[in-house]
Structure 1
Amino acid sequence: MTKISAIKVDQKKSSFFLFTIKASKLFDIVQINQRVEGKEEGYQRVLSPGRVKSVSRYIMAGGAIPGAIIISFSELSYDRKTKTITLPSKENPGWVIDGQHRLAGAHEAAQAGIDIDLAVAAFEGASSEEQIELFITINKEAKNVPSSLYLDLLKKLPKRKNEKEVIEERITDIARSLNADEQSSFFQRIIFTKTARAGEISLTNFARVLRPCFNKAGGTLSPYTQTEQVKIIDNYYKALQTSFPKNWKNDNPIFLRTIGFGAVWRVFPFVFTTAISTYKAANVAAFVNIFSEISGFDFEKWNEYGSGSSAEIAAGDDLLTMLQDAFNDENGKTSGLRLD
């Protein structure tokens, strides 16, 4: 028999038990109800070795796992006086409802010498239907933290960040600067913690589209300081606004819609390198000179392209073809780049 100190929690129609237990011990007494491919049994996802390894490394580095592993014991007895659960002597008396990767990762860390205590919420005798309902509620119905909020919070992490996180933090800082600048085309149009509406762009989409420009390996904006990057991005959009005013007349300009934003940034590397090679500048005037060569381009036709990455690519390719027809594709560099 296995005895565990626990607290019983009664909630309306159901009850469960809260306790802590070493990861190695919990792994030994429960099993994961994985969904078997092609069979109508189980409901869990198959374990991802990558996710298990990631959890293990996180624990080995000192990370905490505060969320409870949710399980169901087929049967147990509870002594209210001693506040103790007693489990019967049988193999695998419990099933994991939620937290399989956290448990497997903690078990892997335990095998490497770091056996942490895990928080557990345990139900007694939950039917398969009840377990599935809990699993779906936790993994589908519960609202996740908005990804834009996640990006905004990255800068508050005290730990050393990897390259991707450094880029995300830089883009977030740039977005904040542009969003606060009354003279910027992005003034109060970048949304950080809620769903973007028409005429607005989420920080998530802003970061997704601009990220390639910041990669150390070949990113167009990577060689420049943050101040220069802010100015270049601002100049680029001011040039779009100056060159194509009719496309900015309504409250939901094409250049801030998902397809338009993605398309104009797909051609940015060409526009930027053309500007510095032809005009020795990355200011509004240089970009306007380039866009003047395609003044008749019909941006509103992008609305007919549909949505998704394929639509962004197609729209960007159309614009790039027009620009390449107007300019020779020659990349140039200058040490005296003009931004104003």
Structure 2
Amino acid sequence: MFSRVMFSRVLRSAVSIAHSFCSSSQSNTKVAVLGASGGIGQPLSLLLKKSPLVSQLSLYDVVHTLGVAADLSHIETRAQVTGYVGPEQLPEALKGSEVVLIPAGVPRKPGMTRDDLFDINASIVATLADACARNCPDAMLAVITNPVNSTVPIVSDILKKHGVYNSKRVFGVTTLDIVRANSFVAELTGLDPAQVNVPVVGGHAGKTIIPLLSQCTPKVEFTEDTLAALTHRIQEAGTEVVKAKAGAGSATLSMAYAGARFALSLLDAMNGKEGVKECAFVRSEEGECTYFSTPLLLGTNGVKRNLGLGKLSAFEEKLVAEASKELKASIRKGEDFVRQRATEGEPQ
């Protein structure tokens, strides 16, 4: 039998989840999920189906989307769900979309880095970005497909070639790094994870993931050894999941949660809610890299203001410096891919 304390904790958790994914306000917004049949796409679509901020949910993939759409359509929420299968139906899936989430691609397996996914996922993302440029050029694009450090520059450069690029509307979703940092800090300190907020800056792979634990709210203090170990765990948390799943996939459920959190924050801001902040990997003038994740103030047109890095500790300054070389190389890899694609006559 639950104790009163245990029941109170469960109740608080349920209220927190409901608050995150439900809202008293409604909007008429079409949201498209590209890669909706995959390990991330299905739970992501489920969480979006629950939100009154979504009136139309457009699901696209190369297989099984009609079944996923039929399944979700039986849930008694207002969002109308439509499934689209294959390249021929992609334009219709995108037309009228105001927000597009891209989790399409192959997952990591044990021994793989995010960069090992590049050759396959780069082509997938490029094809989808081209379709977005042609069919919903003004949509907010949230890129989940790894390696995000390279796929966001790919999306941006393809939109540029079409003349429809708006840096305020293209995001690399790094929210999972924040979610993990919040969870791990709460584990160590006994704080309620729903009340912890750790900004995570840089990129979305290994040492480019830089948790700003000195800026955590509420304030936390760690020894040097604990700080180093916690930072390393946050940076390698994805590998932790890949190893635990032993070949059965990568972080899908937590990534779906994080993707939905970012998408719903963006929708809130698009609907005029003030003070909405999320970290994301975007075109940036904060530091040496042309793309960088920092806290952002979101607004009706996407990025309202880049809030920058804030005051860093000496430990964090060192992490930023060490990440720059790898991050620049990943960005360049994405940009080179688009240039090579153009020379080979691929559609842009």
Answer whether TM exceeds 0.5 for this pair.
no
TM-score, normalising length from structure 2? Answer: 0.19
- Tell which has more relative contact order, 1 or 2 (C-alpha 8 A, sep 6+): 2
Higher-Rg structure is 1
TM-score by length of 1: 0.20
